[in-house]
Amino acid sequence: MQGRATISDVAAAAGVSVATVSKAVNGRYGVGSETAARVLRIASELGYASSLGASSMRSSRTGVVGVFIAAFEPFSSEVLKGIGVALGDSGNDVLAYSSLTGNEHDGWERRSLSRLGGTLDGAILVAPTVVDLPGTIPLVAIDPHTGPAGLATVDSDGYGGARLAMERLIGLGHRRIGFVSGRHDLRSALLREAGYRSALEEAGIPFDADLVRAGNYELKLSREAANQLLDLPVRPTAIFAANDLSALAVVQVAQSRGLAVPRDLSVVGFDDVPEAARADPPLTTVRQPMQQLGNEAVAMLTALMGQQELRRPHVTLATRLVERHTTAAPAPRRG
Amino acid sequence: MQGRATISDVAAAAGVSVATVSKAVNGRYGVGSETAARVLRIASELGYASSLGASSMRSSRTGVVGVFIAAFEPFSSEVLKGIGVALGDSGNDVLAYSSLTGNEHDGWERRSLSRLGGTLDGAILVAPTVVDLPGTIPLVAIDPHTGPAGLATVDSDGYGGARLAMERLIGLGHRRIGFVSGRHDLRSALLREAGYRSALEEAGIPFDADLVRAGNYELKLSREAANQLLDLPVRPTAIFAANDLSALAVVQVAQSRGLAVPRDLSVVGFDDVPEAARADPPLTTVRQPMQQLGNEAVAMLTALMGQQELRRPHVTLATRLVERHTTAAPAPRRG
DNA sequence: CTGTTAGCGCTTTCAC
DNA sequence: GTGAAAGCGCTAACAG
């Protein structure tokens, strides 16, 4: 049982050639059923399973689909859950890969695809920002950069979602609403920002560039953005953030400055990651169906892997506002 | 840019041999600095990155650590987050693998390890139930089956946690407390059950076998267990479940039978997965530090990969009770 | 039905 | 400093 058995170990133990073992293990024709049975038994006894790396070098199908993510953060994790259940019965294994390493200009998605592409039957990219990907295997992107029309994509309605958030805030009576923006290399982030502006415009509230600050979906930057916004001579009464991470950062900063949320400042996020519900106070946010994003991506990928044409190569899912406890009417004017 | 570039593509384009490219790319000695620079530039232009499968067949270090999980469910997802951040700076990539396929007697952990073992520098197994694993690479198990003393493990204090839950329930005045058990092939599940019994005993409440039902950490079974418990002639006033999934199932079943939680039935879970906080009503549960489980595992694995001896090959983390809204004093006797 | 052979992409001696 | 060659574990022709 020491050190993984190889195909030759099995062959030797069974007294046959490696070719025969390979055929038996893969259920190919051309092996006596008796021989096959014996080989299988021995393989099982030895705990043999073919090396993914080696076998993928010779044959095309491997039965594993890859998911490439930048990191195991809440958003990707939810997507992964959706992918996992959707793939549950397909007989495919799931391999999620996060490459923190060498994040230079290459882009992790390129590098990862290069390293693993040959090994996979298909892949899903979560929030890729790189445009031209090697076109070896079926690919679908979730929440992508504005990429080539050729790439199948799934995302959710960031524009509409942002409007939902803003309309609520405006309906509550807010007129001075800050915005912490997201990663500008992601279409979804841009759309959320567009929704912010359009809602303002529709309500007849003039756009004020001072009220939008870069958060880039990063904790540090979002905190800075929040501080800048709250340092403004005339403080915003509400802040809409491009994702929950940023929104949570805003809440935290506000609280650390002695401001009560939502009494002194309303905050709305975007995503509805699990962390949003457990925050204190629980975050009002725009929910995007993250697990369903995964489901849809799997459906498309499955079609692609089955050589099918996609009816709809771009799917957009609806978002909705989840009101929790970080929104309220603005406090009566205090100067 | 079509179809991943291989090392020979780079070699051809650079007018050198594949051997030279390999050395240049891997920073080995024996290449002119001028040549190396040119090769590197061309490699980058071609978007070349060495195939993981192929390179792992020849060299030992690959810079990727694996995490093997049964599925992308809430518990594993949290652990993965912890592993991800802990590994962030190590320069290692993370590869999470879930093999739903062929879950026969082999055990997914064996099979997966066999298929990928050669490709990884080390691996973390989440809730493995198989005992003898091939000992090829550094391994650490999180929440393992009672395995050989040789395997490094990290888990949390299931016994103490269960007692916390039970003591609270008993303190609230409950005397008739049901238990939905977990997977009996996991030590943690057994310890939670032991905690249940010991707390009962200590409070002088006689153990009643009718009050414990198998949930196996499965939705379906847990629902059945809940129904059986609630069908009892003398209904329990509280139910402690071995994990949150089961607890949530119990709440759901109770509600569907017209019982109000916590008025008619108190429920306590175990884990504190994100879903527990968002449930309605939010679940009272025993929190185990899932992300920290991941951190600890990484620390141990890193030591192991660095050839170091482990000071403490078995680490157990503390748990604590998180009271939310599924617990209350039992209703006054109504027969 | 079974074994021999070639070669996937890569790294590593070992000559030159 | 550079390249030829061997071989990692495996599968796919092709012989026998």
pLDDT at A334: 54
pLDDT in tens, A314-324: 999 999 999 99
Q: Name the residue among B106, B99, B93 with its Cα closest to residue B126.
A: B99
Query: Which residue is associated with the tokens 């014996």?
Result: A38
pLDDT in tens, B165-208: 999 999 999 999 999 999 998 999 999 999 999 999 999 999 99
- Distance of alpha carbon B36 from alpha carbon A46, whole angstroms: 44
- Distance of alpha carbon A11 from alpha carbon B91, whole angstroms: 38
**Residue A198: inside a domain:** yes
Percent of chain B at pLDDT exceeding 70:
96
Q: Name the residue among A115, A101, A107, A165 with its Cα closest to residue A132.
A: A107
Domain count for chain B, please give it.
2
Percent of chain B at pLDDT exceeding 90:
81
Q: Which residues contact A242 (CB under 8 A, 6 or more apart)?
A: A179, A180, A181, A182, A189, A192, A193, A215, A217, A270
Best probe of the A interface among B115, B137, B298, B325, by most A CBs < 10 A, is: B115
Domain of residue B218 covers 158-288
What does the H/E/C string look like for B280-309? CCCCEEEECCHHHHHHHHHHHHHHHHCCCC
Q: Confidence band (pLDDT; 50, 70, 90) for B93? A: very high
Q: How distant, in Å, are the alpha carbons of A228, A240, A262, A321 from that of A164?
A: 25, 11, 18, 6
CATH number of the domain to which A256 belongs:
3.40.50.2300
Mean pLDDT of B33-41: 93
**Residue B118: inside a domain:** no
Q: Do B115 and A49 touch (CB under 8 A)?
A: yes
- Distance of alpha carbon A214 from alpha carbon B268, whole angstroms: 42
pLDDT at B331: 86
Q: Which residues of B touch A278 (CB under 8 A)?
A: 274, 277-278
pLDDT in tens, B306-331: 988 898 999 999 999 999 999 999 98
pLDDT at A279: 92
Nucleic chain D contacts, protein chain B, residues 181-210, CB cut-off 7 A? none
Best probe of the A interface among B6, B52, B119, by most A CBs < 10 A, is: B52
pLDDT in tens, B94-120: 999 998 765 555 688 888 999 999 999
Buried b (16+ CB within 10 A) or exposed e, A111-126: bbbbbbbbbbbbbbbb
Q: Which residues contact A167 (CB under 8 A, 6 or more apart)?
A: A199
**Residue A220: inside a domain:** yes
Calculate how close chain A gets to B106, using CA atoms only, in Å: 8
Calculate how close chain A gets to B135, using CA atoms only, in Å: 5
**Residue B135: inside a domain:** no
Q: Is the pLDDT of residue B56 over 80?
A: yes
Residue ranges in chain A modelled with pLDDT below 50 = 1, 335
Domain boundary among B34, B59, B84: B59
**Residue B227: inside a domain:** yes
**Residue A281: inside a domain:** yes
pLDDT at B104: 55
Q: Confidence band (pLDDT; 50, 70, 90) for B1? A: very low
pLDDT in tens, B285-298: 999 999 999 999 99
Co-location of A43 and A162 in the same domain: no
Q: How much is the mean pLDDT over chain B?
A: 93
Q: Do A106 and B44 touch (CB under 8 A)?
A: yes
Domain boundary among A38, A59, A80: A59
**Protein residue closest to D6, using CA and C1':** B58
- Compute how many other C-beta atoms are within 10 angstroms of the C-beta atom of residue A197: 15
- pTM score, two decimals? 0.93
**Residue A64: inside a domain:** no
CATH number of the domain to which B53 belongs:
1.10.260.40
Q: Name the residue among A142, A151, A138, A132 with its Cα closest to residue A313.
A: A151
Domain boundary among B11, B31, B59: B59
- Distance of alpha carbon A296 from alpha carbon A83, whole angstroms: 8
Q: Which residues of B touch A40 (CB under 8 A)?
A: none
The distance in angstroms from the start CA to the end CA of chain A is 76
Q: Which residues of A touch B323 (CB under 8 A)?
A: none
**Residue A101: inside a domain:** no
